[in-house]
Each structure stands twice: as C-alpha cells, then as structure tokens.
C-alpha cells in the first residue's frame, strides 16, 4: 500500500490540471490553471496524523489550493480509498475531513471521493444526520473506478483517463491469467505511446502503469517494466532519479521485516539517493524526506556531510 499511496500522490501532482479538466469540462473557464497549484499536505497531516494500524483501510488524501477566474481561492479535497475495502463509515470520514478543514481554515471546499474497491453497490456520496428537529446532509463528489466505461476511457485524450484505465486494470487483474494481464498491461502502454499526450506526461503515466499493475510474479513484473522502459527509450539509459525513488519504495515494501543485513543495505542506498537528490534537484529537504521515506533529520545530516 505504501507503493500505491506514493504513486497516487505523485500522479495527482504530475497531472492535476488534467484531473480538473476530467471532472470539470469547463475547467479553463473556472480556474486560472496557469497560476499552478499549492499542495497543502502539511495542513492535512496536522488535522489527520497518519494511522499506524496496518489493518485499517488505507487512503490517499490531497488538499490542493487552486485559483478561480474570479480571483478567489478554492480548496479541493481529493480523497482516494487505496486499499479497496468497503468501509461503511466512509461518508462519515468524508464529512469529518470537510468540517475539520472548514473549522480551521474557513475556506470553500469541494470534495472528491475516488473509490478503488471491487464492491459494485458501494458508492457513498453523502452523510446525513438528524436529531429532534436538527438535520444535516453533506453531499460530495463520488467517483467509482469500476463504473467507468472502457469505451469512453479509450477514446478520451485526457491523461487522467489513462490513470483510471490503469487502476481499473489493476482491480480487475485477478480475473485474468498472468499472461493475459501481462499483455493487457503492455497494450495499455503501447496505446499511451501512440496518444497525443505531451511526452513529459507520457513518461509520468508510464511510471504509474509500471508499478501500479502487479502481475503476481516478480520475474514477469520485472520483464514488463523492462519492456515498457524500452518502449519509452529504445536505447538503454541510466535509471532516472524518479525511477530510483519508485524502485526504492518498491524494494522497501517487499523487504519489510527482513533482518539487519538488509537494513544496513537500505541505509546505504537511502544515503546515496538522498545525496543525489540534494545535488541534482531543486527539491526541498522536506520534499526529499517525503519522497524517499526517511526522517527530515536524516536528510539534514546528509546535507551537512556533502
């Protein structure tokens, strides 16, 4: 889940303008997209500290500040159920997020729930409460991945439609044989390459596809990633920093619970990656700590030693 959590958060930031255009056909008229976006993850973490319960449903939460054409700010809460459980308290959770954000910041909010579960009839879109003449109805935008039309997604030129196709393939993966899933994954990559999406976004979407759709076989997973890499860059090149980060996240998830020898190797690897990010990118120390999954103090120590 750590892998999917980071993949969702990264792709939303990479193509957030396309996210808006997917849900708001008149996005260009509503928002000043050229002003960019501000991701308020720190504000959200202050209100909702991360849970340590490994058995609780997992979510990805993004709070994003956008600017309206009117000049006013608008805050978008994007809430994604990553684990895919049917959670009867989901609407309650959406309302809790809404009123805590409103109570602290007093900003207009529109809320999105993106559901990645497999339950056909689970589609919460409101929270209601009533008591002795006092009532409340909170409605929010609810979007079920499995309900989306394959045909409509296939003809869409919006990059976020590719994200939905990827997630839908991962959800339906168990219905296919390993070989069938492998071929569907590669076909999706080829379709993406032939699209008119800007090249820099194609690369981001390819990374999302590579790591989100798992084949259940380490050998085939590696083979599919290599085939997709070759389709992007026919001539082999060194692993990019972004690929290295995702690769480390994948390895850390798979290595969880192993003994001290692996922990030492992980420490050395994290030290190398943090050093490369400090030297070769403009990421802040906090951003590097979040991307690599290490404490901020670890990044500061590496910085002092450079």
What are the tens digits of pLDDT across the range 29-81? 989 988 888 888 888 888 877 665 554 545 678 888 888 888 777 888 787 76
Whether the full predicted model's pTM is greater than 0.95, yes or no, is: no
Rounded distance between C-alpha atoms, residue 32 and residue 194, angstroms: 29
Above pLDDT 90, what percent of the chain? 28
What is the rounded average pLDDT of the residues 252-273? Answer: 62
Q: How many CB atoms lie within 10 A of CB 213?
A: 22
**Mean pLDDT of all residues belonging to the chain:** 82
Query: What distance in Å separates the CA atoms of residue 209 and residue 4, rounded to the nearest whole number?
Result: 11
167-to-146, 148, 163, 291 alpha-carbon distances in Å: 9, 11, 6, 22
Round to whole Å and give the CA distance between 43 and 171: 31
Residue 290 reports pLDDT greater than 60: yes
User: What are phi and psi for residue 3, nearest 5 degrees?
Assistant: -60, -50
**Which residue has tokens 């599919």?**
224
d(CA 246, CA 159): 20
Looking from the CA of 217 toward its CB, the CA atoms found within 13 Å total: 12
Check residues 196 and 235 and name the one with the higher pLDDT.
196
242: pLDDT strictly greater than 60: no
Cα(24)–Cα(17) distance, integer angstroms: 10
Contact yes or no for 274/292 (Cβ under 8 A): yes
């Amino acid at each position: 889940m750590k892998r999917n959590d980071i993949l969702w958060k990264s792709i939303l930031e990479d193509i957030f303008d396309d996210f808006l255009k997917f849900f708001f056909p008149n996005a260009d008229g509503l928002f000043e997209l050229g002003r960019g976006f501000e991701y308020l993850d720190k504000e959200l973490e202050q209100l909702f500290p991360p849970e340590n319960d490994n058995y609780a449903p997992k979510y990805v939460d993004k709070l994003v500040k956008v600017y309206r054409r009117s000049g006013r700010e608008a805050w978008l809460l994007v809430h994604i159920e990553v684990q895919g459980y049917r959670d009867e308290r989901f609407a309650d959770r959406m309302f809790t997020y809404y009123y805590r954000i409103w109570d602290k910041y007093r900003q207009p909010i529109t809320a999105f729930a993106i559901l990645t579960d497999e339950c056909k009839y689970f589609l919460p879109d409101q929270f209601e409460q009533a008591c002795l003449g006092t009532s409340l109805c909170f409605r929010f935008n609810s979007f079920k991945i499995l309900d989306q039309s394959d045909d409509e997604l296939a003809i869409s030129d919006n990059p976020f439609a590719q994200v939905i196709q990827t997630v839908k393939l991962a959800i339906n993966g168990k219905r296919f044989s390993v070989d069938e899933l492998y071929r569907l994954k590669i076909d999706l990559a080829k379709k993406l390459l032939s699209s008119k999406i800007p090249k820099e976004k194609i690369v981001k979407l390819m990374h999302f596809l590579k790591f989100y759709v798992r084949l259940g076989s380490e050998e085939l997973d590696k083979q599919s990633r290599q085939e997709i890499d070759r389709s992007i860059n026919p001539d082999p090149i060194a692993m990019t920093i972004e690929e290295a980060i995702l690769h480390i996240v994948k390895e850390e998830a798979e290595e969880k619970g192993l003994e001290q020898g692996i922990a030492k190797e992980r420490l050395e690897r994290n030290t190398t990656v943090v050093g490369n990010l400090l030297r070769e990118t403009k990421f802040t120390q906090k951003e590097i700590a979040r991307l690599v999954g290490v404490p901020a103090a670890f990044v500061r120590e590496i910085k002092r030693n450079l």
